[in-house]
Chains A and B, each alone.
Chain A
């Protein structure tokens, strides 16, 4: 069934000639790539039923509904579902985000029909058994209690709440304890009925199996799913950068370390300046030992174990953040040093050598990122989610090569110089806390 090519490597990056893309009659988009060396398969995907549809008093509904899919169907109990999976050494799980519910699973090639059957069953016939929903709620409330004590998670959460004030991106998709308490069993049934549909679902299957065989099985297990939904328009208000700095501190007593996030808006994934931004961000806080930020905060001053810059580029908006874990006594010093680096980054073009290093890194790391089935499946979903085109990963080197020092500087100024910064720390109260 498989054309084994053991004599040479699967060297090429994925492209139009080895990605199969099929649209099923019911609206599911299926992307596949065969990896003849692999005895296993990864299956991952998403569909548009995210937390953007949550009523504010029931924030976390989309998230909890997605998690509850695996708690029982009209045909199988929770234990039967997991007995099927675990007996095969397979996995399947769901997670919610603002726009979509995503899912991922893996198994040995011989078990793919089982995994697809289970995926179809939990998506179309979930039972949301009340006792299981209650158990899930308690488990989730426990994880929220743990989150409330986690300095890194709380700094990140309050950063998003502050930067994305009155915007769906400012609300945590996993909810708050009081909103999780408001969610009823009927809410999940209703949410599933209203928003779960094959239209807009994307599924990627990558591994040691021929695409034609995968397509047959997907058609068999998911092709019959019909549910016409009318997804309501969600308001994603336009965002303005803060006029001046906004400082927040989350007090978590008894901790030894503060986590810090400093940042503002960044480009959206589909914006043309996304590429200059990733080339620049790499220089600012990723390359080598976390770029210029790591060099100053960790290497020169020894203030933190980690200090890095990140772009979070999504569909409706993005953020550009520097984060660090520091001793509470060093908090203000770390903030000052980060601000100085950002000011320098937006005042002078990066050096030619830095630019060349950043580009070589971004291009050179593709084979490593795309080595595993999971890496390729993620790339296929990325292509579909942002309409990048099947040849995106082969065009990527030339896109990156075309970024100039001036593009990086202009982009950095557009976002990082446009107003104040949101500065959030979480940890013990120190002399520096706001």
Chain B
């Protein structure tokens, strides 16, 4: 048991990771599938997310609505997420109800119905979810920036899909996608909480062991290099505020440079919390860009975004402009700050500060069983659990020279996309 984790693989290919945590009488059970928008083709964009919705629409054993009720009765919570690289389902329950999670998830791994009537009702629900997203200026801007940042790679598409594809995807398309990716050999079960790992492994064998194996998903794509030249774009929509987003190609999470760029992000825009549940973030008011943009009254806010992904994705800076400022003058200041990181070694003290911030965020996230079980699986989707358990150690190895080199390699102005959202209601600067 490295890192106090029990790791096992069943004969049908299902991988299992268990972590005992006895701080509260709770368990959190997650099933991870290696499928998401990264696995989708043109014409079927949004299909992984739609399949996720259909997983709540019943099996012969659990007609629609019955698992909701069973979970509600325990006081627990459950949900699911579709990402670019993965799709995951979780239940966090009082510890004595673990069996309910095993029963529901092992059942819907292969027995979901995809009733045509439910498929049609869900089409409207997802189009309504998309409509809600399209109300948001930052969704419109990010979507345009992502599309301009990738020519081919599916990371150019939003996980929710496009209105055109969501209108044309049919029941059998969804069912085929489900059959192809939902089986033990393409799945990972992670559980954290108040239980005996050996005992729970036997229960997992009982519930999941008899499911037929399938073929693990093949890697659907290969990394795409950064854009060959600087690209500028503008989008507009309802709103009263100008936003700017600057996106650079980021290293994949398994790339050693991910940690150096994490320090760059922390210095530039404040630390990004990777905790999905609990913890909360740390403000960024002493970051370099806050000084240069907000303190100098060019912007009202700035944030940086790093995501742990399988393939190189995007490191983005999102800036909310002051109404009286121009995008060009803001971009010039951002360039100055990035150049400073590329030209001048940062102090050891600044790196130590970034490490302490990460240590605090890890401590906050560890209070929450759901977040612990999330990490047990999330890290496996792009690397392995040690990526998470040795995160602070890896960060501590970063030197000022690493930071300088990462800023030079990953933030070249000639290989980025700069997008601006102009509000239709407000004055265009």
Contact = CB atoms under 8 A, between A and B. Distances in A.
B121 A301 contact: yes
A299 B65 contact: yes
A303 B132 CA distance: 13
Contacts of B366: 38-39
B71 A89 contact: no
5 contacts: A40-B360, A89-B271, A257-B128, A364-B73, A371-B369
Contacts of A372: 278, 367-368
Interface stretch (A25-33, A140-148, A194-202, A222-230): A140-148
B226 interface: no
Given A138-B322, A288-B71, A295-B65, A368 B76 contact: yes
A106 B122 contact: no
A142 B121 contact: no
Given A9-B24, A89-B361, A139-B300, A325 B128 contact: yes
B300 A257 contact: no
Interface residues of B, number: 77
Given A9-B23, A142-B300, A149-B425, A91 B131 contact: no
B23 A361 contact: no
A305 B128 contact: yes
Interface stretch (B106-114, B203-211, B237-245, B308-316): B237-245
A365 B239 CA distance: 39
A78 interface: yes
Given A11-B25, A302-B124, A367-B94, A86 B75 contact: no
A298 B240 contact: no
B333 interface: no
Contact of A361 (B73, B129, B295): B73
Interface stretch (A48-56, A158-166, A247-255, A262-270): A247-255
A149 B239 contact: yes
Interface of B: 22-26, 56, 64-65, 68-69, 71-77, 92, 94, 120-132, 134-135, 137, 194, 237-241, 270-271, 278, 280-286, 291, 294-295, 297, 300-301, 320, 322-323, 353, 356-361, 363-364, 366-369, 423-426
A332 interface: no
A10 B24 contact: yes
B285 A303 contact: no
B125 A91 contact: no
A302 B76 contact: no
Nearest to A254: B238
A178 to B, nearest CB: 15
B125 A298 contact: yes
Given A142-B300, A151-B135, A305-B129, A90 B360 contact: yes
B132 A257 contact: yes
Nearest to B358: A89
A366 B285 CA distance: 36
Contact of A288 (B72, B94, B369): B72
A362 B92 CA distance: 15
Interface residues of A, number: 71
Given A79-B295, A327-B131, 7 more contacts: A86-B286, A89-B360, A89-B361, A142-B241, A142-B320, A288-B65, A367-B94
Nearest to A427: B135
A281 interface: no
Contacts of B124: 302-303, 327
A135 interface: yes
A255 B283 contact: no
Nearest to B126: A305
A111 to B, nearest CB: 8
A360 B70 CA distance: 10
Contacts of A82: 283, 285-286
A301 B124 CA distance: 9
A57 interface: no
Given A108-B359, A289-B68, A363 B368 contact: no
Given A88-B356, A305-B132, A368-B26, A357 B364 contact: no
A363 B23 contact: no
A279 interface: no
A364 B93 CA distance: 9
Nearest to A357: B73
A8 to B, nearest CB: 7
A252 B238 contact: yes
Q: Which 4 A-B pairs have the closest CB atoms?
A: A364-B75, A89-B360, A288-B68, A254-B238
Contacts of A367: 24-26, 75, 94
A299 B238 contact: no
